[in-house]
Each structure stands twice: as C-alpha cells, then as structure tokens.
Amino acid sequence: MTLTRGARITGAVLCAVLALIAAGWIVRDLRALGGPAELWEYWAGYMDSRPKGVPATSQDGAVLLVVHVLAAVAALRSSVAASVLVATGVVTLVVRLPGIWIIGASWMDGSYADELRTRAMIGTFVALAAALALIITGAAGRRPSDETGGQRPARPGRGASVLAFLVLGATGAVYLAWEIRQAFTLPSSVYPDWYTGGERIRVALTDAPPGWSSVSVALLCLVAAFSALVQAVHTRPLGLIAGGFVLSSGALGVARTVHHDMLDNFDGMGTELQLNMLTMFFSVLAGAVTLMALARGGVEQVPGGNQGPGGWGQGWGPGATPGQGAGPGYGPGYAPPAGPGPGYGYPPVPGQAPGYGYPQGGPPAAAPGTPPAGPPGYGPPPPSSPPPGW
C-alpha cells in the first residue's frame, strides 16, 4: 500500500502547520528567556538556572518540531508516508492532550498572562485537530502500489529490526520500571499530580506532566519494539520518533549530571541516584543506536515473497532480481535442474519440440473400455520447485 498524491500533499500541509505551532512557542521562549543558552539550562533542569521570563515549552516541543518537519518531507517522498503520518498524528495527540486540562487549570492562574493562556489553548486545539486529520489522512489515503504507480512500502532489514527490538524493548522496560518505583517513593498526595499536573507538580504551559511523558515514551518504545520484532512497515517511523524522545531526554540528563559535577561523587551517592545517572547515559546510547539502525533505507515490500534483502526474498516470477527464485538471470542462487531442454517431463525425442506431454506418438495404449486420452502435448503438471533454502 502507498499514499495517493492528494493525501501526501494534505499530510505535508498538516505537518507544516504543526511545525509552525511548535516553532512559534520555541521562538517565544527564546525571546522571553534571552537566548538559546538560557532555554537549554531550563530544559535540562539546572538548579542554578535563573531564567529572565517564564518558559512555556520543554524539550518535548523541540522533538515534536523536528518530527513534524521530517514528517512533512517524508509525506511527499517516502514509500512509508502513510505510516509516517499516522505515527506522527498519534504521538502529537498524546503529547498535546494534557494541555486541555493544564492550560485552563486554576493552579495556572498567575503563572502566565491570560492572553498567553488563550493563545496556548487555541494552539492546543488546532494541534489536536491537525493530529486527528493526520491519522485520518494516513489511514484513508492508502491505495495499492500497482494502482498509484508508487514505490512499495519498505520494511526494516533483519539486522536493524533485531537491534531496534532489543534496544527499544530494554528502554521501554527501564522507563516503566522507574514509573513503578515512583508509586512507592512519591507521597500519595503528590502521586496523582505526577501524571496530571497540579500545585505540587507544576509544568510549563504547553508541556505534559513528567509521569505522563515518561509513560508515553515507554509505551511508544515497547510498541515500536514489537513492530520491529515482526518487521512491520510502521517500525521505522515509530522507532525513529521513540529514539528521538529517548535521546533528547538522556542528553539533557547527562548535561545536568556533568554541569553539577555529579560524576565526581558517584561512589558516595545512593544506589537510586547512581541508577538514575546510569539511566541517563543508557538513554543517550539507546536513542543514538535506534536512530542509526532505523535511519537506513528499508527493504522494499514485494508481493508474494519474503521482505528480506537479497536471496530468495526478492520474489518469484519473471523479472525477479538475482538470487534464489525463478525468472530470467537466475543469479547466484540455486538454478533449475540442468537438462537438455527448458521443460520437464519425458526426455525429448528427435524432431519434437521440447515441452510438457508425452513423447511423439501419443500416450501408451489405454486398456479396453477406458476413455480416450486428450490431444498430444498435454500431460501432468511439472513437479514443484524445492522450497527456498533446501
């Protein structure tokens, strides 16, 4: 399945709208805080950060900006544009959804001007509507590749799939483990605000609560890991988005760790703090490995054949590429049995064209009372070829 031209253009326009919304809030924060260095310090959570203004974004907004820009390009060019649009829409929907109750909450009174909160609410509803439209466009705009003449969707290669499954699965499990730990460490009066925001756990105007964000990324990693296990077409967009969120979270955590010289006193810290720092470094490694593994081009989906690169996975029938399989130019794979003619059946007889059927002169005489045999040249079908790899 591929995406029609109209759906590609629609998806690219929707992604551009989402990118403009995310970019507008980042530009606002850059002006309010005085520059990118101050915004970076706030995003990283430096304890000595003293921003000049009140930021309205987090690093999730920057990741979404990159996702929306790349999705707009992929919508016009990629063979997996449908999966890209659906994945982008789902992630945007999940990240922007908390803004519905956070922006208008009473505990946000006094933190931001009413005009800014109104703009944030309008932007949130526009982003949610665009995200839903992306999902509908990606799902309804698909057509068989033969009808549109476009490229067939490409699946990730076997090696990339295995690597993504291991890394993303481990990352999702680690993130969920930390969330389970929060249930035992946070006071009961604070724990709900960890996922919904509140007086005790304040968040930026367009940001999601920390627990909500962490669980969302963990589930995204686990879904992408399962998709990689079965080499699904949507593995690459889901995995790349998950890798971007994991890498950004880990990079900011490592920057905070280095800025406060926490590594110098690593041995003297408690076990939980040590594990927390190790998780930050692991996130950087996991995010980078995921991006490098899935950023490479996938293997084109071929009807009727395995999706693996080369070998017998390239398909069957006329026009098959070199490898194991039937078709002209059998290549380095196994070839048809050597013989004097291109057909199977009885040995050829001088003066008779090769093919299927009985030798010239007709079939053997039938027993009395049996119906006459069909015309010469028709006989039993040829034996089936051995399965690949035998």
What pTM, to 2 d.p., does this model score?
Answer: 0.75
Evaluate if residue 219 carries a pLDDT over 60. yes
Evaluate if residue 11 carries a pLDDT over 90. yes
Evaluate if residue 188 carries a pLDDT over 60. yes
Q: How confident is the model at residue 326 (pLDDT cuts 50, 70, 90)?
A: very low
% of the chain with per-residue pLDDT over 70:
72
DSSP secondary structure of 228-289: HHTT-TTHHHHHHHHHHHHHHHHHHHHHHHHHTTGGGGTTTS-HHHHHHHHHHHHHHHHHHH
Q: What would the mean pLDDT of 203-230 be, rounded to a whole number?
A: 94
Q: How confident is the model at residue 364 (pLDDT cuts 50, 70, 90)?
A: low
Q: What integer pLDDT is reported at residue 266 of this predicted model?
A: 86
| Count of C-beta atoms within a 10 Å radius of residue 335 | 10
| Count of C-beta atoms within a 10 Å radius of residue 326 | 14
User: Are 194 and 201 spatial neighbours (Cβ–Cβ below 8 Å)?
Assistant: yes
Evaluate if residue 227 carries a pLDDT over 80. yes
pLDDT tens figures, 230-247: 888 888 999 999 999 999
pLDDT tens figures, 84-97: 999 999 999 999 99
Evaluate if residue 330 carries a pLDDT over 60. no
Evaluate if residue 252 carries a pLDDT over 50. yes
- Any idea which of 15-24, 80-89, 344-353 has the lowest mean pLDDT? 344-353
Measured between alpha carbons, how far is 315 from 297 in angstroms, rounded to an integer? 19
CA–chain centroid gap for 169, Å, is 14
Residues 6+ apart with CB under 8 A from 156: 164, 228, 231, 235, 236, 239, 293, 294, 298, 299
Q: What would the mean pLDDT of 218-229 be, rounded to a whole number?
A: 94
Residue 345 or 166, more confident: 166
Measured between alpha carbons, how far is 262 from 258 in angstroms, rounded to an integer? 6
Task: Please provide the average confidence, as pLDDT, over all residues in the chain.
Answer: 79
User: How far lies 296's CA from each of 53, 150, 160, 221, 309, in Å?
Assistant: 41, 20, 9, 19, 13
